[in-house]
Structure 1
Amino acid sequence: MTKSPTPRRPDRTSGPAVLRVALLFHASKVYDREILIGIGDYVKQTRVAWDLFLEEDFRFRLDGIHEWEGDGIIADYDDPAVARALAGAHVPVIAIGGSYEDPACYPGQVPYVATDNQLLVARALEHLVEAGVTRFACYSLPESPLNRWAQERERAFSAWLLRNGASGEIHRGLATSAPTWGSATKKLIDWLDSLPKPTGIVAVTDARARQLLQACIVANIAVPDEVAIIGIDNDTLGQHLTRIELSSVSQGTAEMGRRAAQLLHQALSGSPVRGARVVVPPAEVHSRASTARDVQHSPQVMRALYYIRQYACQGIKTEQVAEMMGMSRSSLEMYFRRDLKRSVHDLILQCKLEHCFELLAHTDTGIAEVALASGFRSVQYLNAVFRREVGSTPAVWREARQAVESR
């Protein structure tokens, strides 16, 4: 399904006609990949006779796109160069991109499938409210024609604050590249230090959210107790790149792909779709450690929990947590018993088990690797802890979960 467009028309003299559809997306981006998955799902489910063409980097072919003898195009209209190149195209075009607050900004009569920026930001802020946050901020991107959806999310953030009588601020930061890493991180830390604590931050992408997490780690700012962070995209790759798992709102990208393919199918069948507008709501809020705040606890417990969340799976012990805090083990245990009614060891074990559950549920990682990645010294020890805490072995727990999900 990943072929390069060529100007040669297929021979349609025998058998059913197979239509050629170009997909103008960046397959290296999680947002684009999930849209492509939705398009592929529609093609498989409906069994439409389409050949799908996907370039590794379609921008190199934009100048000659009008010469391509295909039948239809589904394209990322967040890139202004794409919209310009496809103006006046001789085949049906379906656009996909971010929604506009101003309906007049949509591209004329080109059918448009959009993610709902208003709802994305509202869901993120509502999640932060549930986490006990009353002050908010938005970490965005420098203004650019390539990320005008980020400015739409800023406006959605400001509108939500106004509707709900809440206070907050927007920080765009710097565009990141290797030469600016140091200065970008320093400026980000300065901004984070200036915020009242606690503050909940909505990042316009998971990539921006990961920058926040890294800056908080460097500056020793406790996440989520001092700064709670939620991103947008639910990029699962990012969960492997930070010690604190990131909460995120997943866009309805697969549904966007399906709806775009459906519109193109209608257009190729002769049904009118000109000027159609489809805005797809978010799929889900994924609550993880970066917003799992423990409210009304002492500063000592909050700092210790921050350290435990980062290093539990590296095999830390209660003594190491106490040493980091600069207090005796007995004093630390006193704070934990008073605030949480649990021991430091209990919280370390809870974090290790949560990571174990995540790996068992969402990966095919072998049990031995799960044990090591979760901070257990052996499979036997993991099995013993599972039997005591869960009532089964990790393998049985995984099989039972898979059986439930397959129903």
Structure 2
Amino acid sequence: MSDQPFASARRRVALLVHTSTAWCREILAGVAEEASHTGGWDCWIEQRGALENLVLPESWQGEGTICRLNNEELYRQIERRGLPAVNTSWLAEHSTTVCNVVSDETATGRVAAEYFIARGWKNFAYIGKPQSMPYLDRCCPTYVETIQRAGFTTHQRSIQSGSGAVLNQAEMRDIIDWLIEIPKPIATLVWTTTMGYELTKLCHQIGLRVPEDLAILAIELEPLVSALAPVPIAYIDQAPRRIGIEAAKLLNRLMDGNPPPSEPTLVSPRGIAERMSVNAMLVEDDLIQAALAFIRELVNQPITANDVAAATKVPRKTLERQFTTQVGKSVTAVIRQTKLEYAQHLLRETRLATQEIAERTGFHHVETFFRFFKREVGLTPNEYRHG
């Protein structure tokens, strides 16, 4: 037997992704998960903040990179070295030099609009990216168009701050004036969780209730900021771990010599991570409010539309007619939706076994829960949890 050391086949990959946000850390976790399935990578990575430019060190020699392409110099470095490269940020366009694996922006806007519309909101708002950010916002058009098709309009607002983080005094005054002016109650989609955090403080300052007067949903994932807000901020689950997994898969193919794809890889959002900032379905009718409260309170029971009718003391036909008019869905459809959203929440946010989740959503048999979930989502509960 040779006494030479065993030669490692581990690939050398630079991970040029910020480490200061939950979004980027989830992407890196997905990269690590996928890399481990192919023998592991030798990764070069530095701790970097969200506003820092990322660059390849001149002395580093490797075979590929997964990056958040946020500056021209990094693009030029990748191009000069001829490295296979995958970008995970909306800030750059897909190309054959740097391929994009990103969340689906247009689907994100549509999911947000459909979520609000399904809950009976009639007024809508959007606070978009900072004006100074060099980026084409593709979420806003889909959000506005989906709302418009439902017969409503959107009140739009943008901010000047370069980072979109903390509002300055002039911006606070402008946003307060805007909040006072727009019709209420209103459902609001914001670019970042931090913007949602700022909004909750301003609403408290001028006596608006969240979510009763102003519901807030963030595009960007940042659970810590959400938890620190006066009212925890809901956000769209854009599956950043799945983005990391798909980015690593693509980089492996590129390093194997396969041609780059002509189109970006788009990862669909998984749904809404519900928090108190959106925890309201807007209906004016007392009967419907009572019925919805009954459905939410008994989400862990196998209730039917007849049970809801009995609890509200009205004939089933009357209840169905009211639901169709004011909610746009049948009683049974709302029961299914409530159970599905609660199951998705438990799969995303807890480590409960699938059997336990089935019981907590009113299914006596886990097989029935599996069939229900697969029919509604197109994935098994386990596929959804690990997606």
TM-score (norm 1): 0.63
Contact 2:217 2:236 in 1 (8 A): yes
Superposed, 1:320-399 pairs within 5 Å as none
2:249 aligned residue: 262
Equivalent residue of 1:68, what SS?
coil
Are 2:123 and 1:135 aligned?
A: yes
2:151: which partner in 1? 165
1:297-352: CA deviations, max 9, x gaps?
79xxxxxxxxxxxxxxxxxxxxxxxxxxxxxxxxxxxxxxxxxxxxxxxxxxxxxx
Aligned length: 290
* Alignment-derived partner of residue 18 in structure 1: 10
- Tell me which residue corresponds to 1:395: none
Aligned to 2:111: 123
Number of the residue aligned with 2:192? 205
Tell me by how many angstroms 1:110 deviates. 2.7
Deviations 1:74-128 (A, max 9, x none): 111244443344233332111222289xxxx533443211111111111111111
Aligned residue number for residue 214 of structure 2: 227
Report the equivalent of 1:54: 45
> 8 Å contact 2:113–2:147 — kept in the other structure?
no
* Deviations 1:261-290, CA, capped at 9 Å, x for gaps: 001111222233354520001122122221
Identity within the alignment, %: 23
> CA–CA distance in 1 between the matches of 2:128 and 2:267?
22
Structure 1 counterpart of 2:169, one-letter code: G
2:85 aligned with 1:93: yes
**Cα deviations across residues 345-377 of structure 1 (Å, max 9, x unaligned)?**
xxxxxxxxxxxx99xx759xxxxxxxxxxxxxx
1:149-186 residue CA offsets vs partner (Å, 9 max, x unmatched): 5x222233333334433201210123168995332222
Structure 1 CA distance for aligned equivalents of residues 78 and 126 of structure 2: 34
Q: Which has the higher helix share?
A: 1
Give the whole-Å Cα distance in 2 for the aligned partners of 1:28 and 1:79. Answer: 18
CA separation of 1:80 and 1:197: change in aligned 2, threshold 3 A: farther
Letter of the 2:146 partner, please give it: W
From the CA coordinates, give the structure whose radius of gyration is larger. 1
User: Does 1:291 find its partner at 2:278?
Assistant: yes
Q: RMSD of aligned C-alpha atoms?
A: 3.3
Structure-2 change in CA distance of 1:13 and 1:170 (3 Å): farther
The normalised TM-score by structure 2 is 0.66
Instruction: Say if 2:105 is the partner of 1:113.
Output: no
Contact 2:164/2:192 (CA < 8 Å) preserved in 1?
A: no
Structure 2: stretches of 5+ with no match in the other structure:
287-344, 352-380
SS at match of 2:31: helix
- Out of 25, 40, 60, the residue aligned to residue 68 of structure 1 is 60
Shift in CA distance, 274/286, structure 1 to aligned 2, threshold 3 Å: closer
Structure 1 stretches of 5 or more lacking a match?
Answer: 1-11, 299-356, 364-403
* Greater alpha carbon shift after TM alignment, 77-86 vs 271-280: 77-86
Change over 3 Å in CA distance of 1:79–1:202 after alignment to 2: farther
- Structure 1 residue 258 displacement after superposition: 0.5
Three-state SS of the structure 2 residue aligned to 1:196 is coil
In 2: Cα distance, 1:206 partner to 1:195 partner: 21
1:180–1:213 Cα change, 3 Å: closer
Write the distance in 2 (CA, Å) between the matches of 1:141 and 1:262.
30
- Residue 342 of structure 1 corresponds to which residue in structure 2? none
